[in-house]
């Protein structure tokens, strides 16, 4: 029932709940009463009139403050922490030290301090726990990060346990790309089939089919950086033409310097320095053709990768988000739309829409909170806690 209500933006009547769940009217009444007593379900405002015979019953909806979850997004450039309510709306958020600038143990302590700040105004008994979105690859069973390419030195870091010990909260962990796709699904369950393109310090993808996240057999689906595309770059894997290097902020900043748009960065520049330079490049692209050309080359490679994923999965939409998205979207989004519309194989059967995430740059941190909400309230028996 909670899952059905979560997927209905404007609430559901008891009759609609019975139809969607297959439960009897008596069972619905009993369960609704118990959920209401726990503060999880309440009545939504009735739909506007005019009415026929009598006023219709008020639909049921999730109570936003019934429970809360903490989301933690770990990126080489920034670590974000947010408290989300039962509808996955952000209640409070903080940013803390970047993962690439500190040790895993120190980062866990910084996360704990940020968690204390964002949860300080709510009843701690209503906080379900924390979800962590981290670069992959990951060992989801052990809660470990396994040698993330963009986090040097992070070789089998048992991050879930570090954060659990530092915060005292139950913790679940998943890849940042999967978390971002899940967050989008919680915000907007329609369309039910989409590819989420995650643009951060690196590139990845999350996949949703029939309204369900596809994590892969070990939780590592979405490592698309090694897809070969026209205009792709040289890669540490040894294969030329990978989309990962072509769309990486460090590559775009280097190309901006070569084009004379940016001052060259010093050797060994930090991820934060690269991120700041990317911001300058994107701002220059509004008026400087050379800066715009750098973003256009990256966007074309990204669009070809998106088409490959659309053809493989036959999805109805491409959604883009992540820490880099809002800055690059003015140039990237039109190119994505044009290439996908013109070259997907199923375009004669159905349209493939392309849009930015409703969560924008916060897709992964909100999605991390949704990992815990999903863990607590999923209708799947393997994750059901209530």
Q: Say whether both 107 and 178 belong to one domain.
A: yes
221, 178 contact by CB (below 8 A): yes
Paired sense of beta strands 203-209 and 212-213, if any: antiparallel
Task: For residue 317, tell me if it sits in a domain.
Answer: yes
Write down the pLDDT at residue 53.
64
Could you give the CA distance from residue 242 to residue 29 in angstroms, rounded to a whole number? 55
Who wins on pLDDT, 54 or 356?
356
Task: For residue 236, tell me if it sits in a domain.
Answer: yes
Q: Say whether both 242 and 284 belong to one domain.
A: yes
Task: For residue 112, tell me if it sits in a domain.
Answer: yes
Paired sense of beta strands 228-233 and 212-213, if any: unpaired
Task: For residue 383, tell me if it sits in a domain.
Answer: no
Could you give the CA distance from residue 135 to residue 203 in angstroms, rounded to a whole number? 10
Long-range contacts of 259-267 (CB under 8 A, 24+ apart): 259/290, 259/291, 259/293, 259/294, 260/290, 261/288, 261/290, 261/291, 261/294
Task: For residue 286, tell me if it sits in a domain.
Answer: yes
What tens digit of pLDDT does each residue of 97-141 get? 989 888 999 999 999 999 999 999 999 999 999 999 999 899 989
What tens digit of pLDDT does each residue of 314-369 get? 999 999 999 999 999 999 999 999 999 999 999 999 999 999 999 988 999 999 99
Write down the pLDDT at residue 2.
84
Q: Say whether both 13 and 105 belong to one domain.
A: no
Write down the pLDDT at residue 383.
47
Q: Say whether both 96 and 30 belong to one domain.
A: no
Task: For residue 385, tell me if it sits in a domain.
Answer: no
Write down the pLDDT at residue 364.
95
Q: Find the CATH number of the domain harbouring 321.
A: 3.30.420.40
Task: For residue 382, tell me if it sits in a domain.
Answer: no
Q: In what order do the strands lie in the sheet with 317-321?
A: 212-213, 203-209, 194-199, 317-321, 353-356
Please state the domain count of the chain: 3
Q: Find the CATH number of the domain harbouring 7.
A: 1.10.10.10
Mean pLDDT of 280-308: 97
Q: Is this prediction's pTM over 0.85?
A: yes
Asked whether residue 201 carries a pLDDT value surpassing 50, the answer given is: yes
* CA neighbor of 157 nearest in space, from 118, 114, 104, 207: 104
Mean pLDDT of 300-318: 96
* Domain coverage including residue 38: 2-62
């Amino acid at each position: 029932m909670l899952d059905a209500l979560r997927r209905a933006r404007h609430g559901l009547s008891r009759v609609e709940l019975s139809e969607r769940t297959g439960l009897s009217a008596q069972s619905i009444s009993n369960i609704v009463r118990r959920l209401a007593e726990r503060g999880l379900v309440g009545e939504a405002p009735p739909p506007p009139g005019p009415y026929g015979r009598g006023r219709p019953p008020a639909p049921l909806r999730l109570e936003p403050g019934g429970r809360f979850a903490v989301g933690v997004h770990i990126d080489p450039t920034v670590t974000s922490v947010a408290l989300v309510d039962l509808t996955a709306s952000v209640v409070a958020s903080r940013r803390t030290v970047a993962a690439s600038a500190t040790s895993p143990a120190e980062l866990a302590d910084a996360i704990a301090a940020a968690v204390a700040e964002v949860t300080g105004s709510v009843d701690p008994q209503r906080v379900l726990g924390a979800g962590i979105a981290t670069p992959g690859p990951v060992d989801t069973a052990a809660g470990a990060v396994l040698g993330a390419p963009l986090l040097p030195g992070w070789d089998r870091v048992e991050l879930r346990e570090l954060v659990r010990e530092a915060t005292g909260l139950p913790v679940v962990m998943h890849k940042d790309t999967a978390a971002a796709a899940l967050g989008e699904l919680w915000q907007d369950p329609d369309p039910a089939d989409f590819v989420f393109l995650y643009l951060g310090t690196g590139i990845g993808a999350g996949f949703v089919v029939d309204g369900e996240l596809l994590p892969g057999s070990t939780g590592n689906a979405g490592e698309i950086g090694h897809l070969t595309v026209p205009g792709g770059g040289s890669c540490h894997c040894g294969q030329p033409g990978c989309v990962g290097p072509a769309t990486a902020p460090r590559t775009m900043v280097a190309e901006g310097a070569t084009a004379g748009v940016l001052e060259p960065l010093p050797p060994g520049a930090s991820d934060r320095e690269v991120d700041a330079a990317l911001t300058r490049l994107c701002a220059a692209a509004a008026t400087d053709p050379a800066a715009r050309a750098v973003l256009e080359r990256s966007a074309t490679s990204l669009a070809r990768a998106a088409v490959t994923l659309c053809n493989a999965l036959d999805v109805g939409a491409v959604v883009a988000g992540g820490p880099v998205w809002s800055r690059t979207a003015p140039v990237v989004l039109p190119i994505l739309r044009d290439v996908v519309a013109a070259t997907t194989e199923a375009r004669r059967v159905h349209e493939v829409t392309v849009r930015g995430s409703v969560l924008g740059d916060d897709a992964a941190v909100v999605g991390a909170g949704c990992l815990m909400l999903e863990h607590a309230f999923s209708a799947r028996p393997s994750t059901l806690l209530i």
